């Protein structure tokens, strides 16, 4: 679950902290201006996404066109997760054939028995589970390490207190293994995820069948419109490893909520995607002290602002990426901007009210076109209701929504 394990108390980050390639600054370029890593182009011998050399037969169904040692790497950031880690890892290898699966447990400076448990799991599953120990860098730093070390053609981040479904794992592996024989494999696999709320009998499954057709190769322009509060978070995503690396994404360290960046910044480098309508990821939510608890998010609202700032910088201009991708990124940016604004308002702090206005002003200044498109969204118009009455409506609307859904 996205509790952003591995972060110790730090001073609030300045909004200039953390770097990712930008489309509104001196940083990155859009994929059209860069050389994307295709299976036919990548001959650099990268251990995590090696492709066949010129002598390999790439005919689908014969010899694998992608010769990585592993098909899928699970990156498991783990900070003081002794209570949950074993359950998580067991779910990731609960399949008859684990030879092409890699599980990287990134122990992020844990102070409990997580390091010893990670070592025991490595010893019990040699060649499949690998323990990596590092000084505490926060959730983003642990994910960065996992992406760098991954040997799989594909990579998925699974937080140490979450797990995956057995039947779904088989479907996912069958799909990804087939991509090893493709000259142009998919860059992104999207799957459903489940909110496993503590004490809640009926689990909420987030589907994407209204947005995309299952079991077929898609482009961004094949996607239909997302619901008003529907978006693809980290739990839904399995990236081709080379795509994440080519995007240049480096998550800020000692910062919460970086999975919003992970679920956003690499998208312009994704050209081919597929959707499986299966509840793959189980997101364990409701644990005491979790970073997505309302009171915790209010205390860490500056970190939400930082993440929103980095997402804005990673947003491409209209016309530089496929229309379907631009439409989705505007949709997601508007949701994140609204989420950040809600917690600024819930804080009941006058300075945070001014920070909320600054957030929306910065979007307008960074790009008038993006500012116009984000503000045009219904949720964006609602969050910008003025004055005390507007804040009252937003606070009570949030309370009602939280009660109906059953969680933040």
What local confidence, expressed as pLDDT, does residue 18 receive? 37
State the residue for tokens 């499954």. Answer: 205
Per the listing, tokens 């993006």 go with: 370
Sequence spans of domains, the chain = 31-288
pLDDT band, very low/low/confident/very high, at 381 (cuts 50, 70, 90)? confident
Counting Cα atoms < 13 Å in the Cβ hemisphere of 274 gives: 19
- Is the pLDDT at 4 greater than 60, yes or no? no
Average pLDDT over residues 67-85: 95
Quick one: pLDDT at residue 55? 35
Both tokens assigned to 2: 């996205």
Summarize pLDDT for 309-322 with one digit per residue, the tens: 999 999 999 999 99
DSSP 51: B
| CB distance 276 to 190 below 8 Å | yes
Residue 69 is predicted with a pLDDT of 87
pLDDT level of residue 295 (50, 70, 90 thresholds): confident
Q: What is the CA radius of gyration of the chain?
A: 21
Q: Which of 154-168, 301-315, 391-405 has the lowest average pLDDT? A: 391-405
Residue 285: other Cβ atoms inside 10 A? 23
List Cα–Cα distances, 316 to 21, 187, 268, 370, in angstroms: 11, 19, 8, 9
Q: What CA–CA distance (Å, rounded) separates 72 from 77?
A: 16
Give pLDDT, residue 30.
63
Chain segment 111-157, per-residue pLDDT in tens: 999 999 999 999 999 999 999 999 999 999 999 999 999 999 999 99
Q: What is the mean pLDDT of residues 208-235?
A: 95
Q: pLDDT digit string (tens) for 21-54?
A: 346 644 445 654 433 333 333 333 333 343 333 3
Cα–Cα distance, 94 to 105 (Å, whole number):
16
pLDDT at 325 exceeding the cut of 50: yes
* DSSP-assigned beta bridge partners for residue 8: none
pLDDT at 404 over 50: no
Q: Is the pTM higher than 0.75?
A: yes
Contact 245, 295 (CB under 8 A): no
**Residue range 253-284, pLDDT digits in tens:** 999 999 999 999 999 999 999 999 999 999 99
The matching CATH number, chosen from 3.30.70.260, 2.60.120.10, 3.40.605.10, 3.90.550.10, for 31-288 is 3.90.550.10
Q: What is the pLDDT of residue 200?
A: 65
């Amino acid at each position: 679950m996205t509790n952003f394990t591995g972060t110790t108390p730090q001073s609030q980050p300045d909004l200039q902290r953390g770097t990712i390639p930008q489309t509104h600054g001196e940083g990155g370029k859009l994929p059209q201006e860069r050389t994307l890593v295709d299976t036919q182009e990548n001959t650099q011998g990268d251990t995590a996404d090696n492709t066949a050399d010129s002598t390999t037969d790439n005919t689908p169904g014969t010899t694998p066109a992608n010769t990585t040692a592993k098909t899928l790497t699970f990156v498991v950031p783990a900070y003081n997760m002794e209570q949950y880690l074993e359950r998580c890892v067991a779910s990731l290898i609960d399949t008859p054939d684990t030879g092409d699966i890699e599980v990287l447990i990134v122990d992020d400076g844990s102070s409990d028995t997580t390091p010893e448990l990670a070592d025991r799991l490595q010893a019990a599953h040699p060649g499949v589970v690998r323990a990596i120990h590092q000084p505490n860098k926060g959730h983003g730093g642990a994910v960065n390490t996992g992406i760098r070390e991954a040997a799989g053609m594909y990579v998925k981040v699974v937080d140490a207190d979450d797990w995956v479904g057995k039947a779904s794992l088989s479907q996912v592996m069958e799909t990804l293994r087939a991509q090893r024989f493709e000259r142009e494999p998919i860059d992104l696999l999207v799957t459903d995820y489940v909110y496993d709320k503590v004490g809640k009998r009926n689990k909420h499954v987030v589907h994407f069948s209204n947005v995309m057709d299952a079991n077929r190769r898609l482009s961004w322009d094949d996607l239909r419109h997302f619901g008003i509060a529907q978006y693809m978070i980290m739990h839904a995503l399995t990236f081709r490893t080379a795509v994440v690396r080519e995007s240049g994404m480096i998550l800020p360290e000692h910062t919460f909520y970086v999975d919003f960046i992970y679920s956003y910044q690499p998208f312009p480098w994704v050209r081919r995607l597929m959707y499986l309508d299966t509840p793959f990821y189980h997101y364990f939510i409701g644990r005491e002290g979790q970073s997505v608890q309302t009171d915790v998010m209010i205390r860490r609202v500056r970190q939400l602002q930082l993440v929103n700032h980095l997402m804005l910088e990673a947003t491409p201009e209209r016309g530089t990426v496929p229309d379907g991708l631009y439409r989705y990124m505007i949709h997601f940016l508007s949701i994140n901007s609204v989420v950040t604004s809600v917690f600024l308002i819930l804080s009941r702090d006058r300075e945070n009210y001014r920070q909320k206005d600054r957030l929306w002003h910065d979007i307008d200044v960074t790009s008038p076109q993006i500012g116009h498109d984000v503000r045009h969204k219904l949720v964006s118009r609602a969050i910008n209701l003025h004055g005390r009455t507007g804040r009252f409506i937003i606070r009570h609307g949030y309370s009602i929504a939280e009660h109906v859904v059953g969680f933040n």
